[in-house]
Structure 1
Amino acid sequence: MGQIPIEISSLTRLENLSIIRLDENNLSSPVSETFANFPNLTTLHLSSCRLTGKFPKKILQLATLSDIDLSFNYDLYGSLPEFPPNGPFQTLIVSHTRFSGVLPASINNLGQLSTLDLSNSHFNGTLPSSMSRLGELTYLLLSFNNFTGPIPSLNMSRNLIHLDLSHNDFTGSITSVHLEGLRELVLVDLQDNLLNGSLPSSLFSLPLLRSIQLSNNSLSGSIPQFLCNHSSLLVLDVSYNLFNGTIPECLTQSETLVVLNLQHNKFHGSIPDKFPVSCALKTLDFNNNLLKGLQLEFVKVLSLITSVDFSSNNFHGTIPEELMNFKRIIFLNLSHNALEGQIPSSIGNLKQIESLDLSSNNLDGEIPTQLENLNFLSYLNLSFNHLEGKIPVGTQLQSFDASSFAGNVELCGPPLIKNCSGEIHGLPMSPHGIGWNILRAELGFVLGLGLVIGPLLFWKQWRQHYWQRVDFILCCIFPQLSLEYETRGGHGYQVLRWRY
């Protein structure tokens, strides 16, 4: 711990010193310009050192420096210099800092640049077209900045593995020119931008591509059938766009696809009614589309699937019994459809479920007592159906808010204020006496409520859990990814970090 000593200048006498690694030391100080005086310095790693102040631009212009990592220094700021011809950089990482400004057009002078990570910083402006000449680029990570304008062509970066331009303000369309020939590409993340147009065929002809994340844009058109020819894709997320047409049946029959997220688009038609033995899906999200029908036939029980969201479509009919065989399901959302009939008693089979939403349908009948067997259930919404009868007493169902059961006119009993008709009530108690029957009921209710609510205080909200599951799946798919915790602005965050 402590500051970088002023006496570091004496180290410049070590003319052959080429590597300095001080990662994860609590230096808590500005960076001395003295580092620029090492004539043979090739590697400078100062990641997670709590560095502050402005980073000396002179260090970034060292003629010998090829590898620099300043990441995770949240109070360190600066900008990138103009790079001289034949610049030496192979690795340039300033992620999770306050570095800002534009990316200089002279970036193309870094002919050996393999890793460029500027993510989670404050860069802005357009990406220079000269980036297309970075032939050795392997990792291009520019997420969570303020970049604007079109994405330059990267088809000369034949070694590119990981492309992350997410959470910016990029505009324009994705064309075949952008990605054509990138046969080493494994991950493409362009989510949360302002992109439009349709998907190019070149995107699905990349043989090693495992993850495509394009959510939160204005992309349109249909999902091309030639996607069916892709044999290595594990994650496809095109949610929150303007896609239409039908869902290619091959997506639900893929032997490799693990995450399929098509929510908030304009897909129509029906969900394919057969899921083969070889289906690998774990997360399936079709909510807020124009789909209809829910007559599913599962050739095998998808025992690994953990999340199903079919909400806000036009599904009708009864809740498929097959869904009750998803033994590991944690999140099930069928809300805002036209489902009818009773809630199947086999819902008690979903022992791991934490979030269940069947609201805004036409379900009728009584609430099955088997719901009391769902010990992990932390979110329940049965509101706005035609359920009737008494809410099962003495179960954790009384621990949920009355809003979970609202809009069911014939439903009665705690936590609703409506009493059930035909109940036998005790004689009026003396004004000086104690209503022991009422007291016993209240004590039982409060005690039961405490036993249920107590553990829930330590559980994440159900919506957070959904995305955490996606993060977990991504970590399983990509060994280079890891979940880490960081502090920014006094708040703790869980982030995915790519290990090089």
Structure 2
Amino acid sequence: MRAEIFTQIFSIITFVVFCINTISVHSQCLNDQKSLLIQLKNSFIFNSAISVKLVNWTQATDCCGWKGVNCDQDGHVIGLDLNSEAIIGGINQSSLFRLQFLESLNLAYNSFKFIQIPPHFGNLTSLIYLNLSNADFAGQIPMELSQLTRLVVLDLSSLHFPGTPSLQLENPNLVTFLRNLTGVIELYLDGVSISASGSDWCQAISSSVPNLQVLSLSNCYLSGPMDVSLQKLRFLSKINLGSNNLSAPVPEFFANFRNLTALILSSSNLNGAFPEKIFQVPTLQTLDLENNRLIDGSLPEFPKNSNLQKLVLSSTKFSGRLPDSMGNLMKLSRMEIAGCNFSGMIPSSMAKLTQLVYVNMRSNVFTGPIPSFQMSKNLSYIDLSHNNLAGPVSPTHFQGLSNLVNIDLAYNSFSGSIPASLFTLPSLKKIQLSNNQFNSLSGSPNVSLSPLDTLDLNSNKLVGPIPPYFFDFLSLSVLSLSFNNFSGILHLESITRLQNLTKLELSYNSLSINVSESTLSSFPKLSILKLASCKMQKFPPLWTQNKMIHLDLSANQIWGGIPNWIWKVGNGTLAYLNLSCNHLVDLERQYAVPHSLSVLDLHLNQLRGEIPAPPRDAIYVDYSKNNFSSSIPAEIGNNLIYATFFSVSNNMLTGAIPQSICNVSNLQVLDLSSNRFNGIIPQCLIETNTATLGVLNLRSNNLSGAINGTFPQGCALKILDLNGNHLEGKFPGSLAKCTKLEVLNLGNNSIRDIFPCFLKNSSSLSVLVLRSNKFQGGIGCPGLTNNTWPKLQIIDIALNNFSGDLPPNIFLHWKAMLVDMGTAQPDLNHLRFEFLMLNHFYYQDTVKVTLKGLEIELGKILNAFTSVDFSCNNFKGEIPDTVGALQSLYVLNLSHNALRGQIPSSLGNLYHLGSLDLSWNKLSGSIPVEFAWMSFLSFLNLSYNQLVGMIPRSTQLQSFSETSFEGNIGLCGPPLKASCRESDAKVPVVSALGGNSDSEVYIYISAAAGFVVGLGSFMAPLALCNRWNKWYYKHVAQVLERIFHVEEKRKRRNRVERAYRNPIQPL
């Protein structure tokens, strides 16, 4: 034990004495030493324009005074520091290896072109310090280096980049290499390919270098778990094992290293719970666990004497609240906890952390206000974006932070005024406050000297004119003000002051942008320009913009033709062009669509004639909702090689679907709907493209013939819409391979087949429409499982020849309809297909349903909307009681069949039912008294059955017209004119509320359903535009969502009241 301590102390003293000597001694240089150094300079190949040391070595001066050279008292060269001297070769032929007294050598940050480390380094046996880091050596580390037995510090690390050669320590391996290097106390092998298992590398280090203080082995292809033998290294102070594949929990014995100052385990695939004891190591200054997505834990209470300076936990599963004792971390300078699951309020005690420099807490679940950072005078970066923080931002929170460079509070719910003091901070370059609830800007600060280069206030509630001082930020390169309520007239001349501007976003405000050609010469060279919905009536003068990448002029009032010059904007760099939702009628002739375009959106104009050939490199092409009347060019597939989205829907295109469309191997969305295409569906479209296609929409054309082809294994289809054609024959059973299918719409064709039981294992199916075909037979499927349509929300098989009894068990598998919205939070999203996920592009299909006796088109299929339509078939037998289990059902239509028996009283359980049609059957008996409780019901048709008795008396049922009950000779009582006999009048009077004091909720929902139909026809022209479509459906959906939310709250309140009445029931 004493011997070990003595050895360690001796090594440290030797190293310290060496350092003192190399710094302070400048003796007279010996001639042989100078000669060797001059030879060394002459042999090295280096860039003299960059060199600051070698370039000044001359024969006329004392070599012990040269930069990078240190001598001992006798004039021997013992230290050589040539790091960052731009040396690129000549080391193998150099005199370096004859400097026998050399104790310190630093060749770091040069570039030796990935040659092997020369074995002659083994001749320098006096070396105590050797640094060859980031010098572009590669290949096997020579065994000769293990002869340097006096080494105290060895650094062979490198920032290894994929695709470049690296150093290797495989033969000899780590055990052999370290065997003689017992005096090493700092070992840096980062980026060296060691490729060893946990037990091998741990035991090799612990047995060979027992006095190790610094262990740095990041990115060495090490695996885990970490062996317990590591705990023998009692003197470890710094551990860096990042970027390996340790695949194990962090060992608790790390907490036993009493001198531990830095623990870096980032990107090492760690898992399990992080030992809380490690936080309590009093010497710990740096803890970095970043990018270990399987490791979890929480922050402990921190003591007042904590030395922690850097806490990096980003992209882990750490969770819980930040403790109030965060205020004890008085030395904390860097805090990175982005992308975790931390929640609750940010402790106000953090206001005491005066040493903070960098704070990144983005993408957590923090709530409430933010603390003041006024005392953190060194703070340069703060990111609190993507949380649930709320409330106003006080002008004092960031006051006096003269070093603050970046502030990001985006994607929260901050409200009130944006403090003017932010704009006067002398070092601030980036302000990102988008996606909040800010509604005003305070003051008119003097910003003429501001270095601000980014101002992002997108998606707030800011009103009034754009403040004039925004155009005084002369360093500004990014100005993003879209999706606010800015108003007034903005003259583009205002922008000309911002000559450094590269990105301008003003879309979707209430602005009127005045376009003048006088701005042409002085307009800044932009790369991104977004002026959607700015009430422009003509194209802005952009023909001199030669750096433009992204141009959005959609949803304006621009009339006439698309000018030729628009295709030349960017001078070959334009990648995004959106001219949709205007009043454009044609393309000026002799145009040439640039190949550089990745996105071309011309939808919802009045463009006519032939469709333009898509750009060769396009990913997204939308020509829909125009007046194009040509056929699709036969070779169009050659222009869509990279396309993922192609839509020409709602035009007047004719002819056959070209076979070349099958050559588009990346296509995810193909929408050719609502045209006049004829002929058959190309077989290759079914057999080839559906391997990648998520959406295939061919509805409302004149396509005919059978659907030929076999769907491939691994079929990617989510939406298949063939409604409204003349297709016939059977439907391919191979569709069962499309296991991701969500929407299948075959309605309004002439398909002659049986019920598609082959889809019974399609667990994602949400919409099934077979209406108005020639399907026949029963709908019972043998072998139903839990995967039989658990997400089904719309099924429409009306107007076919289905027959037989309704199978009771089939309804019990439709779990999406079984769930009562009062007992589970309803999913208020809508069905949509996401493609180009990084850019958040979505496609949504439409579906027609019969609601209140009318056929309406749902442009947005809410997940909360449910419908069952079996009307106009030949079903017989009784209505199964199990239909009453579909508690979230909104539309039920069983009309025009041959159903018999009584109406099940279980239908009275359908509290959310808004439309019920059982007309034109042979139902008998009385109307269930439970119908009086169905306060949601806004449409009821029981006509033309064999019902008898008195209509239950309630405000709800008596509100329907007489036609809802006509054709039932035995029925009596209001609203029918036929009076009941005394024997018929023994039906109890039931309150329409059914014990529900919130019945007005249902009235609102019924009104909303009418609102959707009525407003849909009124807003149709606007709703066709994708942008207006987004606005329109957002507001319609909000009405439905608020209503369903009110219903959810009512149900929750009822559960709470029941809980108070019966405390043993869980809430």
Alignment of 1:298-447 (within 5 A): 298=519, 300=521, 304-316=525-537, 318-320=538-540, 322-350=541-569, 351-364=572-585, 366-369=586-589, 371-392=591-612, 395-396=613-614, 404-409=622-627, 411-415=628-632, 418=652
The Cα of 1:138 is off from its aligned counterpart by: 0.6
Per-residue CA distance 1:76-101 (angstroms, 9 max, x = gap) = 11111111112111111111111111
Distance 1:389 1:197 in 2: 51
Kindly tell me: are residues 408 and 73 of structure 1, through their superposed partners in 2, closer, same or farther at Cα, counting changes over 3 Å? closer
The answer to whether the 8 Å contact 1:102/1:126 transfers is: yes
The Cα of 1:453 is off from its aligned counterpart by: 8.0
Alignment of 1:56-95 (within 5 A): 56-95=275-314
Alignment of 1:221-300 (within 5 A): 221-222=440-441, 224-226=443-445, 228-229=447-448, 231-252=450-471, 254-274=473-493, 275-276=495-496, 279-296=499-516, 297-298=518-519, 300=521
The answer to whether the 8 Å contact 2:320/2:342 transfers is: yes
AA aligned to 1:389 is G
The Cα of 1:44 is off from its aligned counterpart by: 1.1
Flag structure 1 segments of 5+ consecutive residues without an equivalent: 421-437, 467-500
The answer to whether the 8 Å contact 2:594/2:615 transfers is: no
AA aligned to 2:502 is K
AA aligned to 1:7 is S
Aligned partner of 1:464 in structure 2 is: 839
Kindly tell me: are residues 361 and 368 of structure 1, through their superposed partners in 2, closer, same or farther at Cα, counting changes over 3 Å? same
So what's the TM-score if we normalise by structure 1?
A: 0.79
Kindly tell me: are residues 289 and 145 of structure 1, through their superposed partners in 2, closer, same or farther at Cα, counting changes over 3 Å? same
Distance 2:573 2:442 in 1: 33
The answer to whether the 8 Å contact 2:600/2:620 transfers is: no
Q: Which moved more, 1:52-61 or 1:346-355?
A: 346-355
Alignment of 1:173-188 (within 5 A): 173-188=392-407
The answer to whether the 8 Å contact 2:598/2:620 transfers is: no
Aligned partner of 1:7 in structure 2 is: 229
Kindly tell me: are residues 155 and 397 of structure 1, through their superposed partners in 2, closer, same or farther at Cα, counting changes over 3 Å? closer
* Secondary structure in structure 1 of the residue aligned to 2:487: strand
Distance 1:348 1:164 in 2: 39
Aligned partner of 1:490 in structure 2 is: none
1:159 aligns with 2:378: yes
Distance 2:590 2:443 in 1: 43
Aligned partner of 1:117 in structure 2 is: 336
Distance 2:600 2:266 in 1: 44
AA aligned to 1:418 is M
The answer to whether the 8 Å contact 1:228/1:250 transfers is: yes
So what's the TM-score if we normalise by structure 2?
A: 0.38
Per-residue CA distance 1:237-270 (angstroms, 9 max, x = gap) = 1111000111234535643111111110001122
Kindly tell me: are residues 442 and 192 of structure 1, through their superposed partners in 2, closer, same or farther at Cα, counting changes over 3 Å? closer
The Cα of 1:348 is off from its aligned counterpart by: 2.4
Kindly tell me: are residues 314 and 72 of structure 1, through their superposed partners in 2, closer, same or farther at Cα, counting changes over 3 Å? same
The answer to whether the 8 Å contact 1:188/1:213 transfers is: yes
Aligned partner of 1:128 in structure 2 is: 347
The answer to whether the 8 Å contact 1:268/1:289 transfers is: yes
Kindly tell me: are residues 379 and 254 of structure 1, through their superposed partners in 2, closer, same or farther at Cα, counting changes over 3 Å? same
Aligned-pair identity in percent equals: 36
Q: State the superposition RMSD in angstroms.
A: 3.1
Distance 2:249 2:396 in 1: 43
The answer to whether the 8 Å contact 1:396/1:452 transfers is: no
Distance 2:395 2:320 in 1: 29
Distance 2:838 2:488 in 1: 27
* Secondary structure in structure 1 of the residue aligned to 2:298: coil
The answer to whether the 8 Å contact 1:249/1:272 transfers is: no
The answer to whether the 8 Å contact 1:135/1:159 transfers is: yes
Kindly tell me: are residues 463 and 128 of structure 1, through their superposed partners in 2, closer, same or farther at Cα, counting changes over 3 Å? closer
Question: Which protein, 1 or 2, shows the higher relative CO under an 8 Å CA cutoff with sep ≥ 6?
Answer: 1
Kindly tell me: are residues 387 and 148 of structure 1, through their superposed partners in 2, closer, same or farther at Cα, counting changes over 3 Å? same
Distance 1:95 1:105 in 2: 20
Distance 1:201 1:419 in 2: 56
Distance 1:293 1:303 in 2: 17
Distance 2:589 2:666 in 1: 17
Aligned partner of 2:410 in structure 1 is: 191
Distance 1:383 1:208 in 2: 44
Distance 1:176 1:197 in 2: 11
Aligned residue pairs total: 433
Distance 1:35 1:160 in 2: 31
Q: Which moved more, 1:397-406 or 1:294-303?
A: 397-406
Per-residue CA distance 1:128-167 (angstroms, 9 max, x = gap) = 1111111111111111111111101110001100011111
The Cα of 1:200 is off from its aligned counterpart by: 1.0
Distance 1:389 1:190 in 2: 49
Kindly tell me: are residues 125 and 278 of structure 1, through their superposed partners in 2, closer, same or farther at Cα, counting changes over 3 Å? closer
Distance 1:165 1:262 in 2: 20
AA aligned to 2:839 is Q
